[in-house]
Structure 1
């Protein structure tokens, strides 16, 4: 679509650094620390904050690699664009194809979580009502301008901050009010801590940091993206990591093991009730619903931008995926397609859906680290100590951690991911006539962005 005879429709460049950070934190979901607390406490023998700290340090290497690639290619395609430009067009297509698992499934997972949370609060309402209501909300908000998305998401994220703040205040009041628990460094380091247990915990917690990579899909909707997007990547990672470590530490002081929980895998409602009774448990549930909506909105937006980037370059059908609305300047068809996919929450279960995300996220992380080496060292001929540190050491360390995560990926994730990869290869063979021609890609990268 076009706004005038010779004026093409483009994404609206109206997002500021604060908008991007809030979207990234919304995607990341600060309150997810409560959802995994019971599980990770058992895995790490009570060293949850140490596992979060290790995860943050490890994931920052990949975050820095994303920052390098955003400066090189400030467009909306994220890992897909980086791999296509730095490594090879076919590699880029496969990275984009596999990354769709992460981007497309996360909005649906948030719809599914919303159904679970709201279903527990209102057991008399059929689950399908919540699925349809959540899907409509995410879709309608994303159809409109990116500023509406960012502003609406801000309210939800700030509410999550409030819930975290209340939690911190309640814990501190118990610690200072005569509780048997006291401040100690044990959750970070103790005699029974083991690196293998921390790494096992990190393999679970790393997916709590997914918001930092999603912000790269908003590159074309912000002014000065070469400065703004890298800063937002670092701030999202550090703010999110700071919340996770702080909450994990304080929770570990009052709940050092899983013996206090009836259901360690769903310990968050019990934590809320023990700390603040039914009132805080109700507030906590509202925070959980807010987190799913915030993450759903941000991930819905990211998924539509990835599809748009691939459609605009014609590696996916451009007439469907590469079109922007002249009125809203958003990829409305993509938003509706993602909304339609969210309706699969009517019959998919949570454990199956989560398996798809892990494979797609690790593929994107690996590709971005490798793209740094290809772009700056192999293509750009960067040399010298500083170049070796920035463009070799950082991505190699990032890749090493990702390889560890690959080794811990569950069998269902591997099988589902490999099945999706095979479909991508079949589509690639069809598009290139068994590699006898190039992909029908149109380069949309503008050096002046």
Structure 2
């Protein structure tokens, strides 16, 4: 008896960055495709009539006649402790942190609270088709324990870390350089590489970590090869001025992280809204990635990310919902906002580039493209079934589409959590609408 299962629907996945290989070479699409899954991995993908003829007779085939199967979405920047404060009114970044974020995060010293929110948070990710996320926890080790335990139970590929913050924040929410280092070390040894989990060293941003703390963050990266680094960069103009005042000896914001050995192939810096060419050049040289967070950049009035500039320097870019500055867990909704951010700068965001950012682009930003972000044989079977008939408007609008590019654009503009019919992680059904 085979353990394989097969799924029949339209299939789409990215093969490369449209900015580098051109639109036509950037994706593979089967109008009537078959995805075969075995032991948590994708074992075959191709035209349904061809693969069905080769399939053993005992393999169960599920058919989604109104469905599009894509890789699971990859969210490269999100805050799990901010789930309860999404849609907080009226502030820009620094006041928003003080008035909403810090009080909300203080609750995560309570392990029971952290466990409750971890379940809600993961449910929301999966309901929205997100199968991998790079996640900020709070400063409390309990928050990381709760999130990793919940993700491990569901066999998700997840990256997270304890926030490091030893200054310029309320006393009730700071650690010290040494306690942050020791707590991170204990969490790394307990969780990094367990199942499909990875650890990210997580200084919140340069203003809230002392030079001593940033030095120890760099030391952790050296001591444990394969770790990630996540932080914030150049989100808000007042924040950039603050960084200049705190680190007058550094030539720009990115140079602070560079000086403390925090840039590298697994470093993901959120936002990068206000970068100079020199910073883009250095991001590319070090292999560091940017998480583009259009929804929160608009919501907090931070500015418009310059994607063409990042492309010019060949900087890896993923997409981030940035909940709770972002107002939706949905990467489809996030792409709706990304399109508008580009329009405001006089650029068009092609639907195949959008799709790339939410899947293979995110996987490349995380250096996980051999495991996630595509439907290639051998990849983790992390995929979603999107429903063309999810809402009456979507069904009607798609019936007017002239070609698949238009279908995709409409899906990425009108789509939201209702569009996600099913989510699979490592071949297991983890969400069904």
Calculate the TM-score normalised by the size of structure 2: 0.26
Higher relative strand content: 2
Q: Which has the higher contact order (CA 8 A, sep 6+)?
A: 1
Higher helix share: 1
